[in-house]
Structure 1
Amino acid sequence: MNTLAPSRALNADRINWRALPDFTGFTYSIMAVDRERGTTDFCVHYEPGSRIFLHRHRADTLMVVMAGEHRIYAEDGQLQDARPAGAYAFTPADGDIHTEGGGDAGAVVFYSTRGGPDGVIFDILDDSGAQVGALGMAEVDALFDLQGRVAGA
């Protein structure tokens, strides 16, 4: 029995990017959600020179920069890392508070998350570092439903 899903080319220019209301600087596309295993895979397209909201990863997160330059900023706003296309990084759960965004030409980044307490993937923080929200498995799964459960659709 073949249980492998057919492969699809992941071409950032052909992804149907979606916006989240009330958030600026990026668009996203969900690739896969497995609530039973506690995993999500998604891509984010960061606008050139953007910085998104402050947050903390609550789940282990793997990322690969597909295009452009992915910039990571410390909680105080200082540039912490500039990752070129092809870069791979791992962020453990409950790591440092930070923001991220695109370099001069923007960035496209693939993320894969694993686990997270009570299904929480990210804590969303205000400028003072206080938690104002969370993004979890249920929310990502609902976004995937809205997308038609088709990767990159």
Structure 2
Amino acid sequence: MTIQASKDANVSLPFDTRNIRWYTLPDFPHVAYHICKVDEQNHIVDILFKFDANSQIALHRHKADYVTLILQGELRIYRANGELKEIRPVGSYVETASDGEPHREGGGAQDVIAFFSNRNVKDLVYEILDDDLNVIATLGVGEFRALYEAQAAS
């Protein structure tokens, strides 16, 4: 299967982020986040991500079911071996089950802004992997709760 970028990849209208403050984590280049909500009772963690254009983030695996809505640009998904797996253009709404294939995400010709709603979160949201697919870090409800509280205090 051949995956091609959309013909209008450079014409996505900018998503207005003037009321959103972006945050980053050390050792996680090419991605910024804004946590919208951590709802432990309903097992939901909602996050806006901004992925740099023409870049890829750390290799990871989603440990909770999730929904993505692409608000700006096109989200590119790469297999662990670097092969382009999928392109989600602006406006795409995709539901995905947990424990899928390890992958990296990144932007196409412009920065991507995507809404991720992580659902049925038991504890972990993401496993961060090295190139040999070993887990080197995890991000779970506790970490996102702490990041959310720090975000609210800033």
Q: TM-score range by the shorter chain?
A: 0.7 to 0.9
Long gaps (5+) in structure 1: 1-9
Could you say what secondary structure the match of 2:55 adopts? coil
CA–CA distance in structure 1, aligned partners of residues 47 and 18 of structure 2: 15
Q: Following the alignment from structure 1 to structure 2, what is the Cα–Cα distance between the partners of residues 48 and 12?
A: 16
Among 124, 128, 134, the residue aligned to 1:124: 128
Amino acid at match of 1:27: A
State, as a whole percentage, how many aligned pairs show the same letter. 36
Map of 1:34 onto structure 2 = 39
Q: Which residue of 2 aligns with 1:71?
A: 76
Q: Which has the higher strand share?
A: 1
Residues 97-124 of structure 1, C-alpha deviation per residue, up to 9 Å, x if partnerless? 111011111200000001234x101111
AA of the residue aligned to 1:122: Y
The equivalent residue for 2:117 is: 112
Aligned partner (choices 58, 64, 71) of residue 59 of structure 1: 64
Q: Is the CA contact 1:69–1:85 (under 8 Å) kept in the aligned structure 2?
A: yes
Structure 1 equivalent of residue 85 of structure 2: 80
Whether the 8 Å contact between 2:44 and 2:121 is mirrored in structure 1 is no
TM-score (norm 1): 0.86
Measure the CA separation in 2 of the matches of 1:137 and 1:62: 17
Displacement over 3 Å in runs of 4+: none
2:117 aligned counterpart, secondary structure: strand
Structure 2 unmatched ranges of 5 or more = 1-14
Aligned-pair Cα RMSD in Å? 1.5
